[in-house]
């Protein structure tokens, strides 16, 4: 269908949004040096988006690990390879599931709250008030939340991985009777710190940055109405999920 004159097509609007988000990212980078004087605000945000997300991350990590342990044990037992359970669970978590599932949970738990908070600050003129008090909202509000996402996500992914492995151990060793030594020795023998663990940490940092960027951008540019904030919050979850999964493919291709 042809777009109406003066009104951009859906594709044009999407490209404009991507461009605006890119420019917003550059603005955040430019504001980072100024935001260093707000370290207390940054640490408060790390607590808010990181520590406050621990319960959901730990719970989900435990159950994901338990499901992985159960499924893989039965699949591996067909080939007589249950000894590799620890290795397969650890590699799945470190390389893919840990960073990706944590990012999706992070978008739902922390990303939405960042968007809603900044969006409401926009709607109630708090950001304009800061501007009028000669305080840059990009440095005081946006950059600390972006940094917090960048810092908290790898830590949360590590916690998710640890609980996932604990869950798989609980199912594989404590419940289904796999040998404890086999579980751990195979895992430590086949998992590389740099190739698997650290690459997963890099991935999760990238996902944290992307989710925080999308969340802050959606909040900062929201229409100053209750409906606008609601849409922006929804868009944060949708866009963060899509971009996380797409970026995961790209990063995996590079890191393999």
Partner 1 sequence: MSDSTHSVPPVADALVSVRGLQTALGGKLIFDGVDLDIPRGAITAIMGPSGTGKTTLLRHITGQLRPDAGTIRVDGQELGTLGREALFGLRERIGYLFQNSALLTDFSVFENVAFPLRQHLKLPEELIRNIVLTKLQAVGLRGAAHLMPSELSGGMARRVALARAIVRDPMLLIYDEPFVGLDPIALNQVLKLIRTLNRTLGLTSILVAHELAAVSRVADHIHLIAAGRIVAHGAPRELEAGGSDWTRQFFGGEADGPVPFHYPARDYAEDLGFPGGIR
In the complex, the residues that contact partner 1 under the rule CB under 8 A are 120-121, 124-126, 128-136
**122 to 20, 110, 149, 219: CA distances (angstroms):** 17, 18, 21, 8
C-alpha 99/C-alpha 102 separation (Å) is 5
Least Cβ distance, residue 231 to partner 1 (angstroms): 19
Tokens of 27: 């603005």
Least Cβ distance, residue 144 to partner 1 (angstroms): 13
C-alpha 205/C-alpha 142 separation (Å) is 17
Q: Which is nearer to partner 1, 43 or 190 (CB)?
A: 43
Q: Which is nearer to partner 1, 2 or 40 (CB)?
A: 40
Least Cβ distance, residue 135 to partner 1 (angstroms): 5
Q: Which is nearer to partner 1, 18 or 39 (CB)?
A: 39
Least Cβ distance, residue 129 to partner 1 (angstroms): 4
Chain position carrying tokens 């590699």: 91
Task: Identify which of 12, 222, 204, 171 has the alpha carbon closest to the alpha carbon of residue 101.
Answer: 204
Chain position carrying tokens 């916690």: 159
Q: Which is nearer to partner 1, 122 or 203 (CB)?
A: 122
Q: Which is nearer to partner 1, 121 or 165 (CB)?
A: 121
**155 to 50, 96, 210: CA distances (angstroms):** 8, 15, 16
**80 to 75, 139, 229: CA distances (angstroms):** 9, 57, 54
Least Cβ distance, residue 29 to partner 1 (angstroms): 15
């Amino acid at each position: 269908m042809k777009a109406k004159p003066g009104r951009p097509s859906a594709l044009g609007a999407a490209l404009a949004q991507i461009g605006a988000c890119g420019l917003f990212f550059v603005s955040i980078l430019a504001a980072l040096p100024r935001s260093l004087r707000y370290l207390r605000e940054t640490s408060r945000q790390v607590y808010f988006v990181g520590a406050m997300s621990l319960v959901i991350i730990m719970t989900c990590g435990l159950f994901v690990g338990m499901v992985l342990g159960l499924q893989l044990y039965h699949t591996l037992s067909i080939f007589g390879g249950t000894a590799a359970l620890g290795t397969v669970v650890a590699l799945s978590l470190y390389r893919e599931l840990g960073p990706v599932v944590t990012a999706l949970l992070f978008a739902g738990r922390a990303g939405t709250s960042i968007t809603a908070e900044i969006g409401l600050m926009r709607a109630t003129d708090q950001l304009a008030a800061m501007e009028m008090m000669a305080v840059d909202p990009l440095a005081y509000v946006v950059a600390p939340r972006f940094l917090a996402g960048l810092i908290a996500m790898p830590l949360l992914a590590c916690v998710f991985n640890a609980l996932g492995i604990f869950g798989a151990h609980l199912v594989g060793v404590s419940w289904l009777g796999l040998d404890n030594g086999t579980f751990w020795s195979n895992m430590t023998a086949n998992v590389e710190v740099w190739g698997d663990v650290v690459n997963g940490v890099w991935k999760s940092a990238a996902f944290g940055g992307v989710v925080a960027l999308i969340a802050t951008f959606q909040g900062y540019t929201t229409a100053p109405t209750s409906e606008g904030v609601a849409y922006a919050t929804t868009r944060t979850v949708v866009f963060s999920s899509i971009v996380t999964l797409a970026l995961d493919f790209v990063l995996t291709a590079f890191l393999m």
